[in-house]
Structure 1
């Protein structure tokens, strides 16, 4: 006795409430994107953008510590009003390397770098590989570290003033206006920091 089973027909699907189409899909995607954009905008109204305030370091204390370690540091005897010292760079293996990072009152960067190198090598490394010479700067300070500094600029607007003092090259560079860099050049010294 053989029993054959006949397949049971599947119930016909009920059509949806609307016709599905490409245009309907595009409209729903546009509405979703606009909804998400509005949500992000709305939540952004209540969010504060963090403001970065660089930490002001005791640069004279850092210079004094470097001098205690045998570094003949080139540094400004004081900072212009409103300027901030943000970092000091040293090399444990090379006593001729010293760097100081500053921000002007307007937030422009000024760097001071000294190395046992040529001034042009410092310019290529810290200003730009393709920096070009510009007007030299003659320091009018009575106790200037050096009377004449070679000037350099790059296409991005950075400026640098460099000089060789004995075996060491010194570079003052940055995005700050040339007048700010020249002000730093006039303040440079290698004197021992006065201890309190």
Structure 2
């Protein structure tokens, strides 16, 4: 009976570790998929994602049976990464304006991936609407926090609304996936630089 008790304890300790490993492996897959989507678009071959992640294709299909499943998971994963990055950048950057610029770069990466989502989900507009609401709920408050911190530090003009800024950045990213000569980052950098408060 004592042996059984030890075995039970061992299993209890091992289960959380296995769950943590599985979660980490899934996040590795999502990071790899996001990288490939940004580089090659959401129609990139699954074998490219498998190569990026260093796993077999079967591993990807086991976690994500369809491409839509994978894209939705990447979408949510990137939203969470963007949301968590805001406070971390504020804490580690030289200034709130620098943190804002770094966060916007992450947001641009997300948008380049996101633009392929509508085509994949066009047959399920309710599903896309749900994801879009999730995106706004998670990211608008983070952008607001960054803007407020930069305004309070006197680095940017006050009164800039997070939703308007994010919408503007999104508009600059349109076409990035279909035109190899167009890189929205330069224009986005100019937009963020333009928020700078002019000396009196």
Q: Same fold by TM (over 0.5)?
A: no
More helix by share: 2
> Shorter-chain TM-score: what band?
under 0.3
Who wins on radius of gyration, i.e. which is larger? 1
Provide the TM-score with structure 2 as the length reference.
0.28
More strand by share: 1
